[in-house]
Amino acid sequence: MKYYDKLIFEVSRPGRTGFSLPRNPWHSHTAQLPEHLKRNTPTLLPEVSEPDVVRHYTNLSNMNFGVDTGFYPLGSCTMKYNPKINEEMAALQTFKSLHPLQPDKTTQGALELYYELNRTLSQITGMAECTLNPFAGAHGELTGLMIIRQYHLKRGDTERTKIIVPDSAHGTNPASAAVCGLQVVEVNSSTDGTIDIESLKSVLDHTVAGIMMTNPNTLGLFETHILEIAQLVHDCGGLLYYDGANMNPLLGKCRPGDMGFDVLHLNLHKTFSTPHGGGGPGSGAVGVAAHLTDYLPNPRVVKLADGTFATENNPEAAGQVSSFLGNYGVLMRAYTYILTLGKENIRMAGPLATLNANYIKESLKQHYKLPILGVCKHEFVFDGLLDNPNNLTTLDVAKRLLDYGYHAPTIYFPLLFHQSIMIEPTETESKETIDEFINIMKVIAEEARTSPETLQHAPHHTPVRRLDETTAAKTPILTFEELTNVTQ
Ligand X SMILES: *Cc1c(COP(=O)(O)O)cnc(C)c1O
Q: Which is nearer to ligand X, 334 or 445 (CB)?
A: 334
Question: Measured from the CB of residue 276, what is the shortest distance to ligand X in angstroms?
Answer: 7
470 by Cβ neighbours in 10 Å (0-12 / 13-18 / 19+) ranks as exposed
Alpha carbon 337 to its chain centroid, in Å, reads 16
First CA to last CA distance, the chain? 15
Q: How far is the CB of 283 from ligand X (least distance, A)?
A: 8
Q: Which is nearer to ligand X, 76 or 426 (CB)?
A: 76
For residues 423 and 448, which CB has a smaller minimum distance to ligand X in the complex?
423
420 binds ligand X (CB under 6 A): no
Site for ligand X in 150-189 (CB under 6 A): 170, 172
Least distance from ligand X to the Cβ atom of residue 404, Å: 25
- The CB-of-284 to ligand X minimum distance in angstroms stands at 6
Shortest distance (Å) from residue 141 CB to ligand X: 7
Which of residues 136 and 251 has its CB atom nearest to ligand X in the complex? 136
Contact mark string toward ligand X, 224..253, x via CB under 6 A: -------------------x-xx-------
Stretch that binds ligand X, among 63-71, 119-127, 131-139, 386-394 (CB under 6 A): 131-139
Q: How far is the CB of 33 from ligand X (least distance, A)?
A: 42
Closest distance to ligand X from the beta carbon of 81 (Å): 17
Q: Which of 256, 282, 409, 414 binds ligand X (CB under 6 A)?
A: 282
Q: How far is the CB of 265 from ligand X (least distance, A)?
A: 8
Q: Determine the interface stretch with ligand X among 53-61, 103-111, 132-140, 336-344 (rule: CB under 6 A).
A: 132-140
Binding-residue total with ligand X (CB under 6 A): 14
Q: By Cβ distance, which residue is nearest to ligand X?
A: 137
Cβ distance 407 to 65 under 8 Å? yes
Task: Write out the binding residues for ligand X, residues 328-387 only, by CB under 6 A.
Answer: none
Nearer to ligand X, 214 or 426 (CB): 214
Residues 6+ apart with CB under 8 A from 183: 161, 162, 163, 177
Residue 86 in the binding site for ligand X (CB under 6 A)? no
Q: Residue 76 interacts with ligand X (CB under 6 A)?
A: yes
Give the nearest distance from C-beta 434 to ligand X in angstroms: 21
Q: Which long-range contacts (CB under 8 A, 24 or more apart) does 150-158 make?
A: 150/295, 150/316, 150/318, 151/239, 151/291, 151/292, 151/295, 152/209, 154/295, 154/316, 157/237
* Residue 117 or 266 having the CB closest to ligand X: 266
Pick the binder of ligand X from 117, 124, 136, 292 (CB under 6 A).
136
- 144 vs 238, which CB is nearer to ligand X? 144
Kindly state the smallest distance separating residue 75's Cβ from ligand X, in Å.
9
Task: Kindly list the residues in this chain that would bind ligand X in the complex (CB under 6 A).
Answer: 76-77, 136-138, 170, 172, 214, 243, 245-246, 267, 282, 284
